Structure 1
């Protein structure tokens, strides 16, 4: 399915961008983790958002999402694994699905936590970020799911249903995890193996496996879309929230300090506005060729 604008990230910046683009009659898809995976959801009280003192983060997000949805925003829950520029827009992989858009807005927030030792070296050789994409390759084999997102238990259950021999690793056992799946509490993790993955080392003890599924809420922007320019660890943007890649805009925490809701909403407004303008301008230029 094709959209005018794909927004990656369903927090304040992404929802603000979607709302703004919808007011300009653009078909918008917001891709991202479920709302409860967004860090703001856990804030019991927000006192620095103008005009709404004492509101909870959960209430803010619910209001933001309801407002954007009422204007026709479409929503797709899942991790955007990569985005690829093509001649007339962008292809975005979301789990095992691919969606198309003419412009892209990155509102991914900040990346939480560094890569695990051995993760980068084994990517594609037994490290995966998508159970539904790669699970079939490991049917009948030992796999480990590192659950860091709200959807991770569901994906672990899916792998178990496929016939994978799943061990689930997290700080606490989720209530929705199939009772037949063994659970291991772990904090310090390392992917090990000569060539292909052979085990996940959890707090010094190895769990033999053929694949480690690292199920985080989102993928870091630099891995999501190679070629982006960064400044001080954040996506570099101009005053129009345009990135170094034509047709790609960014907003919110991923563009830098201060990491505040008001800034995210304001930048989202600009990004949505400018992305819509970009599409109008390029389409008009195409008609005049």
Structure 2
């Protein structure tokens, strides 16, 4: 059995919910397939469900927590008539109209489809990642930070996301080391200032993680100096 919609929206992050608000207000009765609950960015609400305070969204001069912002956006879309399915699309076919999408065995058709699946966590591409994810290796500080209370934590990256995660982790960790491939940060000025001012945060410059060490759980990393090629390890 199929269900037809004028507009089908895949994804429910900021872009997907904005599309839902506009199309619902245009009386297009959008159906939003918002994803499944998980501990990654591939979930209802997208990456903002994994962040803490959002300071640069218009209309919130004091900032707003990411999950609360997405909850408000969802409520706004629903108020105008958007319908939601808390599932993940498993197959799509754009070769002919009406467009088709499947959620497992359930079939959906639509005159228009808006794909707003957003971004996902960027992994390092190391073979041990799949084995150790959830065992000391995490892509979500707000989800897992509590489990690393009073431990030393390594964060990889030099952008806003890395520094925001590191800043949050200092609530739990005894020390946070940020590994950066270059000798400068890509993060915004204000995020850099906050990180440098935090006594629990230190930087490891010109370094790249080449291996995550550990059997049942993470016990350290191996590093390569991006300038000299020298190797070292951190536990």
Shorter chain as denominator, the TM-score bin is 0.3 to 0.5
* Structure possessing the higher relative contact order (Cα contacts under 8 Å, 6 or more residues apart): 1
Q: Specify the structure having the higher radius of gyration (Cα).
A: 2
| Structure with a larger share of its residues in helix | 1
Q: TM-score of the superposition, structure 2-length normalised? A: 0.47
